[in-house]
Each structure stands twice: as structure tokens, then as C-alpha cells.
Amino acid sequence: MDTLDISTPTIPETSRSASLNAAIDIRHLCKTYPGDPEIRAVDGIDLTVTRGEMFGLLGPNGAGKTTTVGMCTTRVKPTSGQAIVDGVDVVADPPRVKRRIGVVTQFNTLDRSCTVYENLYFHCRFFGMPHRESRERSKQLLKDFRLAEREKATPRELSGGMAQRLQIARAIAHRPDVLFLDEPTAGLDPQSRIALWDIVEQMREQEGITVLLTTHYIEEADQLCDRVAIIDHGKILVCDTPDDLKRNLKAGTVVKLRLDGDAGDLPTVLLRLNGVISAETTADGVTVMANHSNGLLPHIVEMAQDYGLRDISVTDPTLETVFIDLTGRDLRE
């Protein structure tokens, strides 16, 4: 009689076929926290990330993106559903999943009692690399991530950008197949963000790694990701390439109004104009989405004058436009 190999979790046939080329395969994943009423942080999502893909997960605070990453990285136990990471069920075999993934958060988790080099070297040793290989791997990563000159420094002596580069270097030191980056550039200055993403792109080409990124910087996802999913209230709203998401948007023109005063009922007034699809209040004015701009702008300007119009800009739809259209609000820090 055949025996079941208990070292490999049994994957249902519905997930197995989808998992063949999937680095991450999520089916009906839920996370509910007790309370009155219960909080459904993640509400039955389905998501597949292809091997080698740079995938972005966007959403406002509380949307469920960090909880989703937490379940995929075994830090949070799902209430129901299934998450398969690199062919392994995260609930059935967490240790095996951990060996196959790297994780970087927005918080500094470096060992402050170790040097920059030691943070990498001991990480390699923890994952079973021999001494010589660990040393060579650490030295190479220091070079690749532009940290070689600071190898004897402690994490306390690093800038925010350097510390985050070190965290990413450490996360891939054991050569994982999947890298989770949970808001890795939060709090970094623009120059540090650009430098970090240049390195991540080079790393992805060299290592062939799959990357799942959550971020509050929509332009990052627009420029970097092969595909993005927008999540809100624990549900996936859309999932596609950034270009296709923008093409499928009803709006062809985005008008941003900056006001000196309060927007008041200006969004409601603007919605009466023929061609205006939506009008949303923002921190400093109103964002208008329209299906054309011919002859519309003079009417928008005329109506906005009574609300202290200070500046106006007209652009094509962006990924941020898609986000606002779906969630009705800007991303919040």
C-alpha cells in the first residue's frame, strides 16, 4: 500500500495546478480578529504571484496588506483559507517556508550588538552555510549593496538608507526564492529610496528572486512592479499591470485643484458638469476625474474661484488616480 510522505504538505488539486508557476498562491485567505464586532482584516482574498515577478500590494492603512504579508511569512496564522509560498503550505510547514523566504519590514531589526559584516555572516551561518561560504557571501553582499566601507561599523552608526540596504542584504543572504518587502522605504529620503530600488532591481536580475512589495509610495509600484493589486477593507479590488489598470480607468483627464480655503461643497458642484466622473476632496483641494478636457477646464476654474483657487494642474491618469477612483481617498502615512 502507498504511504503518504508527511514531509511534504498535501496541496488540493485546485491549488496545485495554479502553484506550478506560482511563487505565492493564495486561496480564500481570511484573518479575523476577535472583538465586538469581529474584525475581518483579510476577507477571503485570492492572489497568485508568478515566479520571478515584482508584485506590488497597495492599500491604505488598515486595508489588510501587512496582515496578508504576515500570513504569507508565517508570522500571522490564517483564520481560514490557504497560502502556498514556493510550493509549501504556510500553516502545514512554517519552518520550511522560513527557509525559502526573506523578509524586510519598515522597522529596523538589525542586531545592534554585531557589526555590519557580522549581521550578514551570522545570518548565513544560522541558515546552515559553511564558514567559508558565509564569509564569501557576506563580503559579496557588502560590495553589491555599497556597504563594504562600513563593514566594521555597528547598525547604530548607519544612516537610515544604509540600514535598510543592510536589512535587504541580510534578507537575501541565505538565497531565498521569495522576498517580502513590507514598506521598506518608509521614512527614507528620495535619494535613499532611488538608490535602494536600483539595488533591488540589480539583485532581482542577478538572484532571479520573486519580490512582493507593499508600499505607500504609489509611484514606486508604478515604476517597479510587473503587476499590482489594490486591497481595501481586506478585499482585493483589482489586480493587473500598472499600464492596464490605467488604460481601464474611465477617466481620461485628471484635474487637481489647490485651494486656499476649505473645499466645502465644491466636489458636489463640480459633479454637475458634463464630463466630470468624480470629484474628491484632498488635503489641499480637490481632485477631479473627467472623461475629456475640451471646454471643461474654464467651467472648473470658474466654479473653483469662489473656493480660493490657488493652482490647477492637468495630467493623464496615473496609478494613484486608479487608487483614488477605487478607494475614494488618498494613501495615508
Sequence-separated (6 or more) residues with CB below 8 Å from residue 261: 307, 308
- Whether 204 shows a pLDDT value over 60: the answer reads yes
Q: What is the CATH number of domain 250-316?
A: 3.30.70.260
Grid cell locating 92: 502545514
* pLDDT tens figures, 251-302: 778 899 999 988 999 999 999 998 898 888 888 999 898 887 778 899 999 9
Using CA atoms, how far apart are residues 54 and 165, in angstroms rounded to an integer? 18
* Higher pLDDT pick, 20 / 55: 55
Q: CA 277 to CA 298: how far, in whole Å?
A: 17
Task: Name the pLDDT band for 191 (thresholds 50, 70, 90).
Answer: confident
212 within 8 A of 55, measured Cβ to Cβ: yes
Question: Residue 187 in 3-state DSSP?
Answer: coil
What integer pLDDT is reported at residue 257 of this predicted model? 95
Residues 6+ apart with CB under 8 A from 241: 226, 227, 228
CA atoms of 20 and 180, how far apart (whole Å): 20
Higher pLDDT, 192 or 101: 101
Q: Where in the chain is the domain with CATH 3.40.50.300?
A: 13-244
The three grid cell numbers given for residue 248, joined into one nine-digit string: 481601464
* CATH 3.30.70.260 location in the chain: 250-316
- Mean pLDDT, the chain, whole residue set: 87
pLDDT at 53: 94
More confident site: 132 or 14: 132
- What distance in Å separates the CA atoms of residue 41 and residue 80, rounded to the nearest whole number? 12
- Could you tell me where the DSSP H helices lie in 7-103? 13-19, 65-72, 94-100
Residue 289 CA, distance from chain mean position: 25
pLDDT at residue 19 in the model: 54
Q: Summarize pLDDT for 220-251 with one digit per residue, the tens.
A: 888 889 999 999 999 999 999 998 888 887 77
Q: What is the pLDDT of residue 157?
A: 96
Q: Spell out the residues 6+ positions from residue 302 whose beta carbon is closer than 8 angstroms to its own.
A: none
**Architecture of the domain defined by 13-244:** 3-Layer(aba) Sandwich (3.40)
pLDDT of 210 above 50: yes
- Residue 75 burial (CB count, 10 A): 16
Residue whose grid cell is 520573486: 210
Q: Whole-model pTM above 0.85?
A: no
Whether residue 5 is predicted with pLDDT greater than 60 in this model: the reply is no
Mean pLDDT calculated for residue range 56-77? 93
Q: What is the pLDDT of residue 17?
A: 43
- Region 28-56: mean pLDDT is 93
Q: How confident is the model at residue 328 (pLDDT cuts 50, 70, 90)?
A: low
253-259: strand order across its sheet: 276-281, 285-290, 253-259, 309-315
Measured from the Cβ of residue 298, the count of other Cβ atoms closer than 10 Å reads 8
On the 0-12 / 13-18 / 19+ scale of CB atoms within 10 A, 14 is: exposed
**45 or 332: which leads in pLDDT:** 45
Q: Which residues pair with 227 in a beta bridge?
A: 55
Q: Is pLDDT of 4 > 50?
A: no
Check whether 317 has a pLDDT greater than 50. yes
Banded pLDDT at 75 (limits 50, 70, 90):
very high
pLDDT exceeds cutoff 80 at 332: no
